[in-house]
Chain A
């Protein structure tokens, strides 16, 4: 194998893996606050891309304002979802909650399909179209944008969780809700915040990827599931493990598509998912228990 194509696969893997990582981060944030896996996570990613396209073309907003609007709307959608369907069923059994979040996911998908149609859209690249050459591999500027923005999001979240009072309160909730409640943290508000943050992070993941892979109403299923694969790979409950898991899945998928078969590209992530679940359900970075006995 030559270095140029290997690097090419690596870069495209890291690029797409960033979105998987951000999706995975979203899963983890909600899981830590609520012990619920939000099956609608992929739809937040889809909304980021689709709403940006909508605000850009239909409303005639500039690219940057369109993106800000899209991310804001998705974040609000996260909050609304928590208030309307998650908070009222606190303490219901896991299967019921899984089914509710699946319901939300297809509901959102249906709405977007109804109003924005079934077509595939492209978002213009953020800036620059001139590709760079790097040891025989081509790097498009959007890849650099994706990697940079992902780094910023990760650093931002790290600071948020370690330095701010809200972030620390959320961490406290993830360890022990009752104790957090006793020291005066509003658990309800933290759960809502977790939905907001994970919708925010997910939609950013969707926005940055849209110029490269195009977007449509149904990209959320695959992105969501690959994000979950990343989550499991990194160890459920471990946010930065999840982000790393995303990059690993992205790279493995790109290498698999390049060297094995591009037709089965999408299957690789799920084969990895099944392999991890069946062999080491606690993930490669973590010893996090998946479910308390």
Chain B
């Protein structure tokens, strides 16, 4: 049953994602969709960590940043191909994730939150202050657009499909992991680390695995971001961005892969459509976080689930009366 529902959601996603942009005539909307898709790749990863394994990270922007800058520097200053650049960025982010993750994941929630927050700020300060390498606060310009095997993704539509395909893979990978032995281990760790240990689950290893996996997704997004905008600045990977990623995960729904996608799309596109919103953006993020955690901890997807459960319940009750 889970399988059927899963395949149905997946089909809807594929149809909307790949069928929709033909009709978009406005490049501006397309670029918003591209940025939403890139962000969604990171949020889906964060959701595996936060929603499934129950481990918090308030420094996930750092993995975006490390990868974006690594790829930007390697391709622009050293003439490496974009593919190599992005892979190097992902590799470096994963190494950093392992180094930070091994000691950090031994900590309980409160300290883990602070440790990841501190880590994020250190990376941010580093990006700002190593001016000869990163260009400092004013940013790094002239990054080549994504190209692979001689094909340049110059048009936004081409880039959109690139992002959509990668996002689809990220979703498939996440769903397949969740519906497996590893996914059960992660959910077990979330509920009770003690009971998970007793079931023979190597808690430290699985926590590290999901932390690194989420860093890899974030790094992938970081690379795609740098080679889409051709420009990166430290402020794109600051504390606020880490928080934004969390708000997206929470609003979409923490215990659902789709939640990450919906949250990212919603909160990336909303500010673009509501102009007055700009001033209020921070306040709104704060409110969303508070209200979701107080009244809607399962987010939008959970709300939809509850609603459909309610409707189904009405039908089945109706059926019961007829019998």
In the complex, A touching B (Cβ < 8 A): yes
Report which A residues bind B (CB closer than 8 A).
Answer: 37, 39, 85, 88-89, 92, 94-100, 102-111, 113-114, 221-222, 225, 228-229, 232, 263-264, 266-267, 270-271, 273-274, 277-278, 281, 290-291
| 10 intermolecular pairs with C-beta atoms under 8 Å apart | A37-B110, A89-B293, A94-B109, A103-B289, A103-B293, A106-B283, A106-B289, A110-B282, A225-B118, A264-B125
B54 is an interface residue with CB less than 8 A from chain A: yes
* B-side interface residues, number (CB < 8 Å): 42
- The CA of A225 and the CA of B289, in the complex, are separated in Å by 20
A102/B58 contact (C-beta < 8 A), A110-B283, A264-B125, A278-B103 known = yes
Interface string of B280-317 (1 = CB under 8 A from A): 11111111111001100100000000000000000000
A89/B294 contact (C-beta < 8 A), A232-B114, A274-B119 known = yes
A95/B109 contact (C-beta < 8 A), A225-B117, A277-B114 known = yes
Q: Closest approach, in angstroms, between the C-beta of B162 and any C-beta of chain A?
A: 33
- The CA of A109 and the CA of B129, in the complex, are separated in Å by 25
Is the beta-carbon distance between B243 and A106 smaller than 8 angstroms?
yes
Interface string of B100-112 (1 = CB under 8 A from A): 0001100111110
Q: Give chain B interface residues in 268-283, CB to chain A under 8 Å.
A: 279-283
A-B interface pairs (CB < 8 A), number: 126
A228/B282 contact (C-beta < 8 A), A85-B294, A103-B289 known = no
Is the beta-carbon distance between B117 and A110 smaller than 8 angstroms?
no
Is the beta-carbon distance between A114 and B279 smaller than 8 angstroms?
yes
Is the beta-carbon distance between B107 and A104 smaller than 8 angstroms?
no
Query: Which residues on the A side are within 8 Å of B125 (C-beta)?
Result: 264, 266-267, 270
A102/B289 contact (C-beta < 8 A), A96-B297, A114-B283, A290-B110 known = yes
Is the beta-carbon distance between A263 and B108 smaller than 8 angstroms?
no
Is the beta-carbon distance between B239 and A221 smaller than 8 angstroms?
yes
Query: Which residues on the A side are within 8 Å of B289 (C-beta)?
Result: 99-100, 102-103, 106
Q: Closest approach, in angstroms, between the C-beta of A219 and any C-beta of chain B?
A: 13
Is the beta-carbon distance between A274 and B282 smaller than 8 angstroms?
no
Is the beta-carbon distance between B280 and A99 smaller than 8 angstroms?
no
Query: Which residues on the A side are within 8 Å of B288 (C-beta)?
Result: 103
B130 (CB) vs chain A CBs: closest residue:
A263
Is the beta-carbon distance between B294 and A106 smaller than 8 angstroms?
no
A292 (CB) vs chain B CBs: closest residue:
B108
Query: Which residues on the B side are within 8 Å of A39 (C-beta)?
Result: 113
Most chain B CB within 10 A, of A97, A263, A270, is at: A270
Query: Which residues on the A side are within 8 Å of B82 (C-beta)?
Result: none
Query: Which residues on the A side are within 8 Å of B294 (C-beta)?
Result: 85, 88-89, 100
B239 (CB) vs chain A CBs: closest residue:
A221
Is the beta-carbon distance between A263 and B118 smaller than 8 angstroms?
no
- The CA of A99 and the CA of B110, in the complex, are separated in Å by 11
B188 is an interface residue with CB less than 8 A from chain A: no
Q: Closest approach, in angstroms, between the C-beta of A278 and any C-beta of chain B?
A: 4
A266 (CB) vs chain B CBs: closest residue:
B125
Complex A-B, nearest 5 residue pairs according to Cβ-Cβ distance, in ascending order: A107-B286, A103-B289, A110-B282, A110-B283, A278-B103
B171 is an interface residue with CB less than 8 A from chain A: no
A271/B111 contact (C-beta < 8 A), A85-B290, A98-B56, A107-B283 known = no
Is the beta-carbon distance between A264 and B115 smaller than 8 angstroms?
no
B250 is an interface residue with CB less than 8 A from chain A: yes
Is the beta-carbon distance between A37 and B58 smaller than 8 angstroms?
no
Q: Closest approach, in angstroms, between the C-beta of B125 and any C-beta of chain A?
A: 5
Q: Closest approach, in angstroms, between the C-beta of B107 and any C-beta of chain A?
A: 6
B126 is an interface residue with CB less than 8 A from chain A: yes
Is the beta-carbon distance between B118 and A270 smaller than 8 angstroms?
yes
B118 (CB) vs chain A CBs: closest residue:
A270
B195 is an interface residue with CB less than 8 A from chain A: no
Interface string of B80-124 (1 = CB under 8 A from A): 000000000000000000000001100111110111011101100
- The CA of A107 and the CA of B294, in the complex, are separated in Å by 15
- The CA of A111 and the CA of B286, in the complex, are separated in Å by 10
Query: Which residues on the B side are within 8 Å of A109 (C-beta)?
Result: 282, 286
A114/B297 contact (C-beta < 8 A), A105-B286, A290-B110 known = no
Is the beta-carbon distance between A266 and B281 smaller than 8 angstroms?
no
Q: Closest approach, in angstroms, between the C-beta of B160 and any C-beta of chain A?
A: 31
Q: Closest approach, in angstroms, between the C-beta of B294 and any C-beta of chain A?
A: 6
Q: Closest approach, in angstroms, between the C-beta of A201 and any C-beta of chain B?
A: 20
A225/B121 contact (C-beta < 8 A), A99-B289, A291-B110 known = yes
Is the beta-carbon distance between A271 and B122 smaller than 8 angstroms?
yes
Q: Closest approach, in angstroms, between the C-beta of A113 and any C-beta of chain B?
A: 6
- The CA of A114 and the CA of B289, in the complex, are separated in Å by 19
Apart from A85-B290, A99-B289, list 10 A-B contacts with CB within 8 A: A103-B286, A106-B240, A106-B243, A107-B282, A110-B280, A225-B121, A270-B122, A277-B114, A290-B107, A291-B108
Q: Closest approach, in angstroms, between the C-beta of B88 and any C-beta of chain A?
A: 24
